[in-house]
Amino acid sequence: MDSVYLDHNATTPLHPRVRAAMLPWIGERHGNPSSIHSFGQAARNAVEEAREKVAALLGVRPPEVVLTASGTEANNAVLAHIADQAGERGHLGHLVTSAIEHPSIREGAARLEKRGMEVTRVSPAGDGVVPAADVLSALRPDTRLVCLMLANNELGTLQPVAEVAAACRERGIPVLCDAVQAVGKIPVDARELGVDYLVLGAHKFNGPLGAAAVWVRKGTELSPLLVGGSQERRRRAGTENVPAIAGLGEAAAAAKDEMADRGAHLASLRDRFEAELARRMPDAVFHCRASPRLPNTSHVAFPGVEGEALLIRLDLAGFAVSTGSACSSGAVEPSKTLLAVGLSPEEALSSLRVSFGITNRLQDVDAFLDTLEREAAALRRLAPTAAREVA
Amino acid sequence: MTADLTHGDLTAVAMSGGLDSSVTAWLLARQGVPVVGLSMLLWDHSGVEANGRCCGALDLGDARRVAQQAGIPHYTLRMDREFRQKVVDPFVSDYLAGRTPSPCVRCNTWVKFDLLLERARSFGAGRVATGHYARIVEGPDGPELHTAVDTDKDQSYYLFELTAGQLAASLFPLGEMTKSEVRELAREAGLVVAEKGESMEVCFVAGGVREFVEEQVAADPERFAGAILAEPAVLVDTAGRELGAGQPYYRYTVGQRRGLGLAARSPLYVLAIEPGENRVVVGGEGELLAPGLRGERLHWIGPDPEGEVEAVVKIRSRHPGVASRIRPLGDGRVEIDFAEPQRGVAPGQAAVFYQGTRVLGGCWIDGRL
């Protein structure tokens, strides 16, 4: 049996349309978009077409879209820009972020803190949502930026970005929205959200690795993180990754075309999984099930079962899921996000994240449920020896 | 752990990213044994363990690559907490108690077999294979531990605390091979680790052992019962005469000759370390010779023998061994008489008992007779 991939919040397989759009650029075509000749012109055209498609997906104008190599790079670029600007004023000031941001924001903010910027990290409530009122009450006259993700990568919970952005706008405080997990899964209209920077990454919505973008509101600046060329209107130097950018554009176009069906399909998979799981394993604990959340993400704890061992058993049986946030060596640690929403380390370490994708089918869900039930039961039989102390 | 180790269909290979464990995994995979590669994250070499980071273990990347080359699944298990508790802290405490610890024995027994086997069982692997140079031979009373065919590489000394039950659930595929054969296999297979050298003696200590001990205590004195790093020790002879001031006592090892900083007509050796008095007793070569040793935590791999046992005893990993009479005293205590007096009976080291190629068991050295 082929393995079933249920970890789409980590990365996704390429959409067939994306693959078709990329193939010429890793095959017969090539060119540096900055070159004057016809090869360069064709490559430039591919990049600009992609930019238009990304802009169309977000409901913004193409020149406002800056292409980067990753969402992490885009988040870092905005943070660095804000710090540079504040530095010019002689006082780094204050940054507001949430306690459940992606590491690129979390560690980026920590780096600015070391340079002298004050950082307020607003905790989520137990429902996995950062209260807008708490973010707003953290604002100060010297707040330089607010960072709030649109959808949390682990819990899938949606954050009150529009509400926060509207209030920040009145006070003239820019808002950076990391929308990497949301774009392509739910409709995202950058203008409607009212933020100033919005970040997306192609590989989270069936595009390729190595292409991402940050939308920068017209009139808002972004100084380059990388210098050494005039690409991206001097906001991001470096020869464009044409194949990946072509893929990003097509992924955006496919997402726009398929959005309504996607949401319904993902929700049907996830809802069937949760309903059936609750029936078969009544002691399973769903995290943030009643909160506004992405249609594809389910986070569930199996009390008394070690998540790491369950993940390995499932992988050996052909089902790929996730537990916690893996660090670079691949070992499992309790997820900071789960701890932030009030779970104990034991609960966090007994949890799995299942994130469905557009290529999953209902029979994948049923097969997964059978295996999950079997493997969790096998682990419970070993529980006296398998249960580990968590200090 | 009891002998109740059901053999699952799956064999877990402990993969460090070194040559030996890589070839072990590759060999078993080639033989068609269903295997899963497991790497243990034991110690953070980047020195920022407090942040919960675990990105310093460079060799784990090699383990993952070899697993891909062998076409087997591979996972990294975080065991740094257990490793600190079971191996590193006792290592530091031993030095503070004036002993010379043998952390590799503890690591092999507690981590590679007790813990790893338990974790492997949690996902259906009933056996653990490792790249140790040692052999498991089926004997009349169950599985026996024997020395490796490659006597230069033999690692049976480090495995003396295993139980027969653990041996029944273990595989040492390299025990019948020589190191050069193992390397040749790695080259033929094109494994990325084929030209890798030997691993360090004590894997978690990057620089000097004594500096490591001081760093650990300084970082968290409470962990070591508020130990305060000692003043320079007083060097005395066997009659108790003061010969001068030396370094702190835990910087010495029994049997040590170099670095004493004392002028004497004949070479002087460390005979004993007395942390309570902050004294280090030194003496001539003749005084270093011990007729036997006192041991504790006596362990037999097979059933306990009746009465005294004749065996060859190794009092450190590279010791050639000495014919001995082993006299169990009950309660894990034991006295061992050597046929020839031996130098360097160091408290904290393991004494391991051999009959021919077979490892009977061993004990931990408490002092000399």
ipTM metric: 0.82
pLDDT of B226 reads 64
**CB within 8 Å: B75 and A330:** yes
Beta-ladder partners of A197: A176, A216
Domain boundaries along the sequence of chain A:
4-11+259-386, 16-254
Q: Is A38 on the interface with B (CB under 8 A)?
A: no
The letter for the amino acid at A21 is: A
Q: What band does B58 get if pLDDT is binned at 50, 70 and 90?
A: low
Tokens of B53: 């980071």
B37-64 average pLDDT score: 63
Q: Is B57 on the interface with A (CB under 8 A)?
A: yes
Q: How far apart are the first and last CA of chain A?
A: 39
Tokens of B16: 């460090």
Residue with tokens 């030095």: B95
Q: Is B76 on the interface with A (CB under 8 A)?
A: yes
Report the C-alpha dihedral over residues B13, B16, B22, B28, rounded to 10 degrees.
Answer: 0
Q: How close is the nearest chain A Cα to the Cα of B36, in Å?
A: 9
Distance of CA A180 to CAs A77, A211, B110, Å?
15, 12, 43
Per-residue 3-state assignment (H helix, E strand, C coil) for chain B: CCCCCCCCCEEEEECCCCHHHHHHHHHHHHCCCCEEEEEEECCCCCCCHHHCCCCCCCHHHHHHHHHHHHCCCEEEEECHHHHHHHHHHHHHHHHHCCCCCCHHHHHHHHHHHHHHHHHHHHCCEEEEECCCCEEEEEECCEEEEEECCCCCCCCHHHHCCCCHHHHHCEECHHHHCCHHHHHHHHHHHCCCCCCCCCCCCCCCCCCCHHHHHHHHHHHCHHHHCCCCCCCCCEEECCCCCEEEECCCHHHCCCCCCCCCCCCCCCCCEEEEEECCCCEEEEECHHHHCEEEEEEEEEEECCCCCCCCEEEEEECCCCCCCEEEEEEEEECCEEEEEEEEEECCCCCCCEEEEEECCEEEEEEEEEEEC
pLDDT of B47 reads 46
pLDDT, tens digit, for every residue of B94-152? 988 888 888 888 888 888 888 899 889 888 899 999 999 999 999 998 999 999 999 99
Check: CB of residue B259 under 8 Å from CB of residue B326: no
Superfamily of domain A4-11+259-386: Aspartate Aminotransferase, domain 1 (3.90.1150.10)
Q: Do domains A4-11+259-386 and A16-254 have the same CATH topology?
A: no
Of B41, B57, B118, the CB nearest to A385: B118
**Phi, psi of B76, rounded to the nearest 5 degrees:** -105, 125
Q: What angle do CA B141, B143, B145 make, to 5 degrees?
A: 115
Of B36, B78, B123, the CB nearest to A331: B78
Query: A334 to chain B: nearest residue by CA?
Result: B52
Q: Is B48 on the interface with A (CB under 8 A)?
A: no
Query: A379 to chain B: nearest residue by CA?
Result: B122
- The C-alpha atoms of residue B204 and residue B42 are separated, in whole angstroms, by 8
Tokens of A168: 């920040």
The letter for the amino acid at B169 is: A
Chain A hits for B77, Cβ within 8 Å: 308, 331
Domains plus CATH for chain B?
Answer: 10-189 (3.40.50.620), 230-287 (2.30.30.280), 290-368 (2.40.30.10)
Chain B hits for A312, Cβ within 8 Å: 36, 75, 123
pLDDT of B205 reads 81
Phi-psi region of A373 (alpha: psi -120 to 50; beta: other; left: phi over 0): alpha
Instruction: Enumerate long-range contacts of A273-281, CB under 8 Å, 24 or more apart.
Output: A273/A298, A273/A354, A273/A356, A273/A365, A273/A368, A273/A369, A274/A298, A274/A300, A276/A365, A276/A366, A276/A369, A277/A369, A277/A372, A280/A369, A280/A373, A281/A372, A281/A373, A281/A376
Crossing angle between the packed helical segments A71-88 and A103-114, to the nearest 10 degrees: 20
Of B55, B61, B73, the CB nearest to A316: B73
Report the C-alpha dihedral over residues A148, A151, A157, A158, rounded to 10 degrees.
Answer: 70
How high does pLDDT run on average in chain B? 87
pLDDT of B48 reads 39
Residue with tokens 């952390």: B103
**Phi, psi of B305, rounded to the nearest 5 degrees:** -80, 160
The letter for the amino acid at B204 is: F
Picking from B122, A366, A315, B204, the residue whose alpha carbon sits closest to that of residue A326 is A315
Query: B74 to chain A: nearest residue by CA?
Result: A312
Chain B hits for A378, Cβ within 8 Å: 124
Query: B56 to chain A: nearest residue by CA?
Result: A329
Q: Could you tell me whether strands A143-147 and A175-178 are parallel, antiparallel, or unpaired per DSSP bridges? A: parallel
Q: Is A372 on the interface with B (CB under 8 A)?
A: no
Topology of domain A16-254, CATH: Aspartate Aminotransferase; domain 2 (3.40.640)
Cβ neighbours for A74, distance < 8 A, ≥ 6 positions apart = A66, A68, A199, A201, A212, A213, A214
Residue with tokens 């595989």: B171
Q: Is B282 on the interface with A (CB under 8 A)?
A: no
pLDDT, tens digit, for every residue of B278-336? 889 999 888 889 999 999 999 999 999 999 999 999 999 989 999 999 999 999 999 99
pLDDT, tens digit, for every residue of B142-201? 999 999 999 999 999 999 999 999 999 999 999 999 999 999 999 999 999 998 887 666
pLDDT of B230 reads 65
**CB within 8 Å: B118 and A312:** no
Residue with tokens 């169309």: A56
pLDDT of B243 reads 87
Of B41, B61, B122, the CB nearest to A331: B41
Check: CB of residue B124 under 8 Å from CB of residue B141: no
- The C-alpha atoms of residue A95 and residue A155 are separated, in whole angstroms, by 24
Residue with tokens 């993400």: A297
Residues of A classed as catalytic? 327
Q: Is B64 on the interface with A (CB under 8 A)?
A: yes
Residues of B classed as catalytic? 107, 203
Q: Is A217 on the interface with B (CB under 8 A)?
A: no
Picking from A50, A51, A47, the residue whose alpha carbon sits closest to that of residue A62 is A51
Q: Is B122 on the interface with A (CB under 8 A)?
A: yes
pLDDT of A386 reads 40
Q: How close is the nearest chain B Cα to the Cα of A279, in Å?
A: 25
pLDDT of chain A along its 391 residues, tens only?
689 999 999 999 999 999 999 999 999 999 999 999 999 999 999 999 999 999 999 999 999 999 999 999 999 999 999 999 987 777 889 999 999 999 999 999 999 999 999 999 999 999 999 999 999 999 999 999 999 999 999 999 999 999 999 999 999 999 999 999 999 999 999 999 999 999 999 999 999 999 999 999 999 999 999 999 999 999 999 999 999 999 999 999 999 999 999 999 999 999 999 999 999 999 999 999 999 999 999 999 999 898 889 999 999 999 999 986 555 455 567 888 999 999 998 899 899 999 999 999 999 999 999 999 999 999 988 864 444 443 3
Q: How close is the nearest chain A Cα to the Cα of B38, in Å?
A: 11
**CB within 8 Å: A331 and B53:** no
Q: How close is the nearest chain B Cα to the Cα of A332, in Å?
A: 7
Q: How many Cβ atoms are within 10 Å of A295's Cβ, its own excluded?
A: 18
- The C-alpha atoms of residue B11 and residue B362 are separated, in whole angstroms, by 28
pLDDT of A385 reads 42
Is the pLDDT assigned to residue B258 strictly greater than 80?
no
